[in-house]
Amino acid sequence: MVEENHLTWHEGKVTKHDRETLKKHKGAVLWFTGLSGSGKSTISVELEKVLHGLNVHTYRLDGDNVRHGLNRDLGFADKDRVENIRRIGEVSRLFVDAGIVTLTAFISPFQRDREMVRSLFQDGEFIEIYVKASLEACEARDPKGLYKKVRNGEISQFTGIDSPYEAPASAQIVVDTEKQTVVEAVEMIVGYLKVNGYLE
């Protein structure tokens, strides 16, 4: 392993501002957090489609998708969950530096880990979106059949059941999927981005 004191940051001649100017919008990470089944992935998929229609350069990072490649060596123990989020935070920072609106859909259950990721970004570049839904509602939906497996003893350390979920105390956006449709959630988020100057 190369020691950090032997590493040198190599500056380029194209800045983040240059890339944002070319794209005609700011880069930011939209960090969706919530229980499994709350609607994170569903909303992020629809939001990306709408943003693409507005000529916004986007990329979506989804929890399951990333575990097929970059994070396939990680399990679901607390230390692995922490490392999972750390890696996604660093990847998201690269995308934001490229001027891309990055959508991440991860349970990311621990407040300290979300704050660690927030600390990687400049003010305003990390937008936390709490996709709120009760455990009962998520379990009733159970789109992947995971809650059923938990109840049958096939899965352990499952967030909301035998592993904790710490809801955000001050998310920039709160979407309640027991009260709002996917379309309403997307409209709310796009409205936030426009009002706060992320989009022209």
Binding residues: 34-41
Q: What is the DSSP string of 43-78?
A: HHHHHHHHHHHTT--EEEEEHHHHTTTTTTT--SSH
Residue stretches of the annotated binding site for ATP: 34-41
**Whether 134 is catalytic:** no
Q: Contact, 147 vs 138, CB < 8 A? A: yes
Cα distance between residue 126 and residue 102, in whole Å: 10
Cα distance between residue 47 and residue 28, in whole Å: 14
Amino acid (one-letter) located at 185: A
Of the candidates 44, 92, 108, 156, the residue annotated as catalytic is 108
Catalytic residues: 108
